[in-house]
């Protein structure tokens, strides 16, 4: 039985996990840095433990401090949240070796899927089409050979990466050397691993992912797909479900193939299979072996609490539903509200009301720290149709009042209110097309 969980993360996802624990009657312990001492997750958890100074290398990435906090507070399990150590196989293994339950995939699964090159191989074995790309790039010479073989433009990616880090688009050979070295340096900084690989760059694809749950014994459930094509510098800004571009034939092929991959892996916990879609064809991109920031929209249309399911699976209770019990109802849309600089928030009023959900970790008088990502809140709406969902989100964004720091709320209004977004016919270049040079580099 899991009676007490250490939440080894911060931000809105930490509070999200605390709330799931309360729903299950499980005690929660927040491991927080000095910079996060006054956040809502720390306020609402049953217990809290400071694990170090503000820099993540001394707190949220400090394995020894995190495990010490879990052991000293007599936790049974650890939830890694998203980002930081959530996809670290060595961390998952250390958690289990410490006698704790890791609420996530097995360490060997994370290791396999965390290496994007190995994940591509696994996907191919499961029958998934993959974007044309390289094996691991050992040096600049091999990078040049693969670029020549694939044809420019190409994209360099960190083998252990995600979230746009360690990623560079190369349009011609003269750009390759400097970008290869920069990408390796960034990958080492963020992931502790500078290995790279390369793919043919698709100029303006759609980015679509499938949400799945696995019980670790080959039983897998999918909750449909999410369209995450609205991005800035490869980082997601807007997510929606269902995708406006998929017909049922392609949808069933993608979700079915994704479920097959997870069955082959005997996958345990929540995860997503991500695809790029171009010209009617879809290509496997990667697996995120963890909860995703955008998981609330899948919860909205399915009625499934993904964090509760993660805890159930870790408790060996299995998945609460079968695939034929899942009915995806309506449409859901999420906007990420980001700060455009750190600082004290003088006023922080977020919308509410029927079919509106806001996930945050801040309140008026609190400070957005310069040490971490810029996410302030997520706003999620649910509606019977896509057009009604867009209208609801526009009304909801009008109710946001944040004073003291600048935010991207106006950009979100511009995106959601644009004819291109409403039509559903756009690719990953929508942000740059709409927001212009000044906002792109602001």
The answer to whether 136 is a known catalytic residue is no
Give the 3-state secondary structure of the chain: CCCEEEECCCHHHHHHHHHHHHHHCCEEEEEEEHHHCCCHHHHHCCEEEEEECCCHHHCCCCHHHHHHHHHHCCCCEEECCCCCCCCCHHHHHHHHHCCCEECCCCHHHHHHHHCHHHHHHHHHHCCCCECCECCCECCHHHHHHHHHHHCCCEEEEECCCCCCCCCEEECCHHHHHHHHHHHHHHHHHHHCCCCEEEEECCCCCEEEEEEEEEECCCCEEEEEEEEEEEEECCEEEEEEECCCCCCHHHHHHHHHHHHHHHHHCCCEEEEEEEEEEECCEEEEEEEECCCCCCHHHHHHHHCCCHHHHHHHHHCCCCCCCCHHHCCCCCEEEEEEEEECCCEECCEEECCCCCCEEEEECCCCCCEECCCCCCEEEEEEEEECCHHHHHHHHHHHHHCCEEECCCECHHHHHHHHCCHHHHHCCCCCCHHHHHHHHHHHCC
Residue of 106, 206, 290, 386 with catalytic role? 290
Confidence at residue 439, expressed as pLDDT on a 0 to 100 scale: 46
Give residue-wise pLDDT tens across range 109-154: 999 998 888 888 889 888 899 988 998 898 999 999 999 999 999 9
Domain boundaries 4-103, CATH class: alpha beta
The pLDDT-based confidence of 163 (bands split at 50, 70, 90) is: low
Domain residue spans of the chain: 4-103, 132-200, 206-440
| pLDDT tens sequence across 280-300 | 899 998 999 999 999 999 999
Does 3.50.50.60 match the CATH number of domain 132-200?
A: no
Residue 441 pLDDT exceeds 80? no
**What is the chain's mean pLDDT, rounded?**
94
Write the pLDDT tens digit of every residue in 308-338: 999 999 999 999 999 999 999 999 999 999 9
- Domain 206-440 - what CATH class? alpha beta
The tens digit of pLDDT for each residue in 344-365 reads 999 999 999 999 999 999 999 9
């Amino acid at each position: 039985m899991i009676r007490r969980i250490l939440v080894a993360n911060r931000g809105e996802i930490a509070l999200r996990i605390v709330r799931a624990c309360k729903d299950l009657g499980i005690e929660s312990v927040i491991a927080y840095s000095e910079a996060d001492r006054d956040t809502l997750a720390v306020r609402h958890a049953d217990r809290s433990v400071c694990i170090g100074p503000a820099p993540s290398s001394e707190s949220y990435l400090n394995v020894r401090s995190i495990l010490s906090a879990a052991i000293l507070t007599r936790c049974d399990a650890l939830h890694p949240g998203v980002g930081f150590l959530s996809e670290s196989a060595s961390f998952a293994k250390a958690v289990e070796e410490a006698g704790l339950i890791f609420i996530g995939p097995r360490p060997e699964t994370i290791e396999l899927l965390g290496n994007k090159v190995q994940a591509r191989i696994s996907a191919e074995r499961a029958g998934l089409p993959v974007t044309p790309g390289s094996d691991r790039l050992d040096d600049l010479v091999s990078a040049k050979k693969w670029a020549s073989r694939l044809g420019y433009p190409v994209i360099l990616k960190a083998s252990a990466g995600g979230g746009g880090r360690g990623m560079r688009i190369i349009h011609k050979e003269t750009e390759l050397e400097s970008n290869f070295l920069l990408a390796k340096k960034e990958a080492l900084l963020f992931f502790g691993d500078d290995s790279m690989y390369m793919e043919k760059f698709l100029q303006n694809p759609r980015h679509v992912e499938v949400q799945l749950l696995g019980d670790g014994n080959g039983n897998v459930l999918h909750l449909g797909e999410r369209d995450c094509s609205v991005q800035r510098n490869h980082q997601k800004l807007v997510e929606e479900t269902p995708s406006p571009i998929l017909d049922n034939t392609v949808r069933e092929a993608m979700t079915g193939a994704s479920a097959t991959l997870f069955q082959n892996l005997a996958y345990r916990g929540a995860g997503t299979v991500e695809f790029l879609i171009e010209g009617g064809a879809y290509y496997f991109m990667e697996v995120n072996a963890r909860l995703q920031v955008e998981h609330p929209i899948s919860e909205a249309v399915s009625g499934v609490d993904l964090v509760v399911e993660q805890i159930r699976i870790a408790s060996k209770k299995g998945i609460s539903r079968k695939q034929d019990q899942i009915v995806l109802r309506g449409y859901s849309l999420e906007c990420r509200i980001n700060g455009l600089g750190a600082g004290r928030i003088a006023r922080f009023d977020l919308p509410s009301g029927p079919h509106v959900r806001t996930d945050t970790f801040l309140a008026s008088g609190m400070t957005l720290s310069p040490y971490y990502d810029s996410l302030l809140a997520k706003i999620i709406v649910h509606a019977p149709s896509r057009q009604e969902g867009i209208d609801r989100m526009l009304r909801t964004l009008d109710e946001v009042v944040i004073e003291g720091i600048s935010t991207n709320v106006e950009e979100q209004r511009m995106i959601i209110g644009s004819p291109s977004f409403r039509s559903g016919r756009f690719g990953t270049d929508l942000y740059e097309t709409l927001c212009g040079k000044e906002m792109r580099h602001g």
